Every structure is written in C-alpha cells, then in structure tokens.
Amino acid sequence: MHVLKKSDLIENMKCFSCFSSKEKTRSRRHASRRGISPNVPNSPSSNEPPLTDDQQTEGKMQNAASPKSNEAAIKASPDKSIAAQTFTFRELAAVTNNFRQESLIGEGGFGRVYKGKLAKTAQVVAVKQLDRNGLQGNREFLVEVLMLSLLHHPNLVNLVGYCADGDQRLLVYEYMSGGSLEDQLLDLPRGKAPLPWFTRMKIALDAAKGLEYLHDKANPPVIYRDLKSSNILLDQDFNAKLSDFGLAKLGPEGDKSHVSSRVMGTYGYCAPEYQRTGKLTTKSDVYSFGVVLLELITGRRAIDTRRRNKDQNLVSWAFPNFKNPQRFRELADPLLKGDYSEKGLNQAIAVAAMCLNVDASARPLISDVVTALTFLGDEIDDTIELVDSPIKLSPSQAFCYINKANKASASDRERAVAEAKEWGTSARTSAMSKSMR
C-alpha cells in the first residue's frame, strides 16, 4: 500500500519558496471574487465559521513559505525529493517553438496546452501553461506537482517536470496522442468513426483502475474530485489515464467519515451530497465516474445546453430509464447503430445506475466497479464478448454481488467479490468456447 501522509505533502510544500506579497494580494482578491474568505492563519474571529480542511491546508502552505523572494523556484529537500524535472521558462519556450499557434493542442479554464519535444531526450511532451489570471492558481499548481510526484500508476498521467520561473507556472506531461475522451467521444470530427463499444468499456475500466489506485492503494486515500471526460487522456491504443490533479485532496483519516471542502469541480459531474454540504468522500468520485460511464454509453455530454431544457442534464434525462430494462436501448449512443451486445449494454447501465445512486452509502466501492467492468472490457477480443455467454442473468442478478459486497462485512464482502470473479471467469470461458466452435 502506498502511504501518503498530509505531513509528507506539507513537508514537501516547504520545499517551495514563497510567492511575493503581490501574489498573495492577488490571490486574496481572486478569493473575494469567488465569495471565499481569504485564509488568515492564527487570526480567528468569533464571527467567522471554522476553517475547512482546504483553508487549513492552504494556510499551512502559506506559513511554510518564506517571504524572501518572488521567484517560485521549487527546491527538493534531501529526504523528500520531488522526482519531476525542473525546467526554465526559456527551455520550455524552445520546446514549444515559442508557444506558437501551430504547437497548440488544447485549451481550457486553466490555460493552454502545447506539444513539444525535449531536446535532451527527444521525448514528445505536452506542456500546460497556466493562465496567470485563470481558474487554476498557485495552490492547484503545487498540489498537482506534489501528487503526481508521489503517486505512480499506469492509469495516471506521468508528470515529466514543471517550471516555476517568476510568475510563470508550467507543467510538462507525457504526450497522449489520442487526446482526451471528450475529443474522441463528444467532439467527434465530421466523418470520423465513433468509438466502438468494446473500446468504450476498456476506457471506462482504465479510468476505474486509476481511481481504484487513488482510493485503495494510497493511505489515506486520495479523492480525485474532478473526474470528467476532458480529464481522461488516451494514447494511440486508447489506453486511458487520469490527468489534472490540481483539485485532488487527501481523504479522511482515522474515524472521520469525510473531509470538508469548498465545493469545486465541474457542474454535471459533482455528487449531489458534495454540492449540497461540501462533505467529500471517495463515493463522490464514484458518482463522477458514473456520469462518465453514462457519457460513454450514450455519447451525450453531462451538461448540454444545446438540447431542450428537460434533456440538458444527462443524469436527469437518463434516470427514468434506469428502472425499466425495456428502455435501456434508448440510452445507447445512436452512432453505434446497434453494434453492441444488448446484455453488455444492460450490464454497463446497471453499473452506471449504482454509481449514480443519490444515497452515497449505497454506491459501490470503486474496486467493485473495477471487478464488474473487468468482465466487460479487459483483454477480451472484439469478437469474443463475455455477454455472449449462455449464462442467463438479468442486469440486477449480474451485479447483485456488488450490492451484496457493498453492504456486507469485510469477510462477506471478500467472499462476494470472489463469487463475482468466479462468475466472470466461468462466463469468459464459455464465451471463448462458443467462439471456437
């Protein structure tokens, strides 16, 4: 298990030299515009509510900084080194051909992303230049560098390095040639074939594995907090990786059930209880995953203002169909033109429906979602689908193991998951035997 402690993050934050008083003033003005009270450590007011975990951490970060220089050079301490490389702004300007338009490959609220090649290693990289007046600030920059320096998994994007020259903030990632899931699924160019069903399920499985690592391997767990189709990047073989960790938070420790946080993320993907109360848990990520899985099934955006009012919110539009398996086909992406197994569709919708449960405690653990999706997408050839198995199971029966596991004790849960794996192995064998006849 990967042990990731708040003390480690705060200790690493001390490796960052401070930002100027001008930068702090601008940060306070920005906080004021968002309706967030700027954090002033050690100056409590009887009229102010207690600081949230976000504000306390931000205060510790500010206190850890030393006001000696406005150059935000990042220096790693000997015992807690930051693995990522450091780049100067001049180096990254050369890499991206001076940030010219022809090198631009993406743009968002955080700033722009450019494609480039490192001179020393010839590695192709993506360089994200944070907009100094954008939504992603210094805190998010620090969190992303630290998180991706401490966490490594095949389904998390690899951070190559960063630049913090003066007021410039840049992040250098491995280049993902397939772009984002949003590009391939929701912004499909005219004339390009849609993603096949099998590929969609594989992308869902990869994203779930990335979340599983954050939730189960890190201790305390890491809550991603911003899972959406634009943050899932794809390589040329459609292997998926989670990116953009600026909003990630360490999960609850000890007997705490949640962490308190300012409500941040993307509208349409946030769990309802998090939006309502600011209480954040790993089940908040599970809800966001359910939205992404529903996007993969339907080919529709989480929020689409181009549609009529009652159809703009994907979850609200799909929810009535969850209770009626006879209407499941209405949820399938029309671009697939029926090229999918009906049982596979039913099972995927069953998983999405459980993830989108309004009651957070009734949602499955992400590890159980991985177990379910493994039998839909992992290492199964396009012509050999598990769902062609002669085993006759309704969607509710197929995933009763997950519901059972979610509500049971630890020993019962392990047994239930083992039964699900046994069911999947048996069905996979049957499907392969059938295809060889």
Element (H or E) spanning 95, and its range? helix 89-95
The C-alpha atoms of residue 40 and residue 24 are separated, in whole angstroms, by: 11
Which helix (H) or strand (E) segment holds residue 148: the answer is helix 138-150
**Residues pairing with 126 in the sheet:** 115, 173
Strand 218-219 and strand 2-3: pairing?
parallel
Phi-psi region of 228 (alpha: psi -120 to 50; beta: other; left: phi over 0): beta
Q: Which helix (H) or strand (E) holds 428?
A: helix 410-436
Mutual angle of helices 197-212 and 282-298, in 10-degree steps: 170
| Token pair listed for 83 | 């693995």
Number of H helices, E strands in the chain: 15, 15
Rounded CA-CA distance 319/322 in Å is 5
Catalytic residue, from 53, 206, 226, 285: name it: 226
Does 128 appear as a known binding residue? yes
Question: What are the helix (H) ranges across 192-259?
Answer: 197-212
Residue with tokens 């409590």, as numbered in its chain: 44
| Cα torsion angle, 317, 319, 325, 331, sign | positive
Q: What is the helix, strand, coil percentage profile of the chain, to 5? A: 45, 15, 40
Query: Is 226 one of the annotated active-site residues of the chain?
Result: yes
Cβ neighbors of 231 (< 8 A, separation 6 or more) are 180, 242, 243, 244
Q: What is the dihedral of CA 196, 198, 200, 203, to 10 degrees?
A: -140
The residue among 298, 299, 220, 232 whose CA lies nearest residue 266 is 232
| Backbone φ and ψ of 409, nearest 5° | -70, 175
Yes or no: say if 189 and 336 are a contact pair by the CB < 8 Å rule.
Answer: no
Among candidate residues 267, 297, 270, 302, the one with its CA nearest the CA of residue 286: 270
Distance from C-alpha of 353 to C-alpha of 363, rounded to nearest angstrom: 9
For 274, the enclosing helix (H) or strand (E) is: helix 272-277
Q: CA–CA separation, 366 vs 290, rounded Å?
A: 10
**Active-site annotation, residues:** 226
Mark the binding-site residues for ATP, compressed into ranges. Answer: 128
Q: Which residues are annotated as a binding site?
A: 128
